[in-house]
Chain A
């Protein structure tokens, strides 16, 4: 196989990986914030439901969650699966899994802000929503960037799990080519692809961190 053909095949798989990556971040970052609020809620029931959710998401392998989300509707409820559900199931699994992790990062960030700031805001006449959006959140974002970068990089590498429900992302392509060509070159190429992708993500996050380092 020509290098160009191999790289094209890998690039195709990369596209799927990037799609999973983008959609997951798009939904799990906001969802994570909602989950964090639920986790810190004064409502006993809500708080504990969210605690159980986070505990299950963190306590079971993502690979298993993928299979449950994909096959669950049929084996539990008897619903015939449409072909298009395959990719949707990947996104649902990744989003609910990553939202749980992001929620805990958000919580750590929010709880690290001293209570005095809330009191000061109250004295100045800020509403609760104003306090959060204008005073707390900007500081939280600054603080949680490093752990969020960690999760985002893990996410790129986790996209390879999508193959358990037969979504061919890059690593699957690499394995198939490696096996067909009896060569390790596709693995090397895949490794470089992942590294470059992660390098770009890390660079963007670093730039963002610098942007956010005002008042220092």
Chain B
């Protein structure tokens, strides 16, 4: 009896699933119909964060909003846990990850747009700590965000990591910078774009080492194989580059045009 009920329920489910498929309008296939769902880490200023008015804002999110508008889709901002981004994509909760998402080292794991801006991984230290080169980091405690590209870049430099007293894995950059300010860590390895913004905004006594850890590029990452949506977003990005929208948004956030599309 129970088995029969189960079979009937499964059949019903399948029926629903099938009819849901056939109902879909030809055109833009997204995880939620008529909506463009962007996954982002909400502790990642200036790319995506909670603004002064309590709403999500940021450079990347503004770009995403513009793309969604041009695709005639409603933008849904979905904050995600950074180390769960793959599960969010695979379980179809989000259409893409758009949040200072480093392409280098992840080229084969996602379907990417062309890189839209360049970034470097750098070390942030306290200005009074007497650290000015990578060699000075020997015997120091360094913090890095879990599953970040800085962590990946450090894995490529085992000699450098071995010279540290300890490498601490933190949940997010903001905690890492608080740790740095409080003195529990001596350096934080992180994205230059984010570091610059933090230094400017917080006015704390930090400096960025001129020696960098890695050079890299940001792109928008889609679930592997989702070329259709990727191509549409790519097209709109190029359109925005051509009509100067990208440059305008970039100047508003960084004071200069940092974008690389169409150049």
A interface, CB within 8 angstroms of B: 71, 73-75, 80-83, 85-86, 163-166, 168, 172, 175-176, 178-180, 182, 184
Contact = CB atoms under 8 A, between A and B. Distances in A.
Nearest to B85: A179
B185 A83 contact: yes
Given A166-B143, A175-B83, A178-B83, A83 B171 contact: no
Given A74-B182, A81-B184, A163-B171, 12 more contacts: A81-B179, A83-B165, A83-B184, A166-B169, A166-B170, A166-B171, A166-B176, A175-B83, A176-B146, A179-B83, A179-B85, A182-B90
A176 B183 contact: no
Contact of A75 (B85, B168, B182): B182
16 contacts: A71-B182, A80-B182, A81-B183, A82-B183, A86-B168, A164-B171, A166-B170, A166-B171, A172-B169, A175-B84, A176-B83, A176-B147, A178-B87, A179-B84, A179-B146, A182-B109
A182 B85 CA distance: 9
A177 to B, nearest CB: 10
Contacts of B257: none
A71 B178 contact: yes
B181 interface: yes
B29 interface: no
Nearest to B183: A80
Given A83-B141, A182-B86, A168 B184 contact: no
A178 B169 CA distance: 15
B166 interface: yes
B212 interface: no
B184 A179 contact: no
B92 to A, nearest CB: 15
Given A80-B183, A86-B184, A182-B86, A172 B175 contact: no
Please provide the 7 A-B residue pairs with the shortest distance between their CB atoms, ordered closest to farther.
A80-B183, A74-B182, A179-B83, A81-B184, A166-B170, A81-B182, A179-B147
A39 B181 CA distance: 38
A33 B86 CA distance: 47
Contacts of B143: 166
Contacts of A182: 86, 90, 109
A139 B122 CA distance: 62
A80 B184 CA distance: 7
Interface string B130-162: 000000000001010011000000000000000
Given A81-B183, A176-B83, A178-B83, A168 B169 contact: yes
A75 B179 CA distance: 11
A83 B90 CA distance: 38
A172 B86 contact: no
A22 B176 CA distance: 28
A165 B175 contact: yes
A71 B174 CA distance: 13
Contacts of B179: 81, 166
A82 B185 CA distance: 8
Interface string B202-246: 000000000000000000000000000000000000000000000
Nearest to B186: A83
B120 to A, nearest CB: 23
A28 B143 CA distance: 31
A207 to B, nearest CB: 38
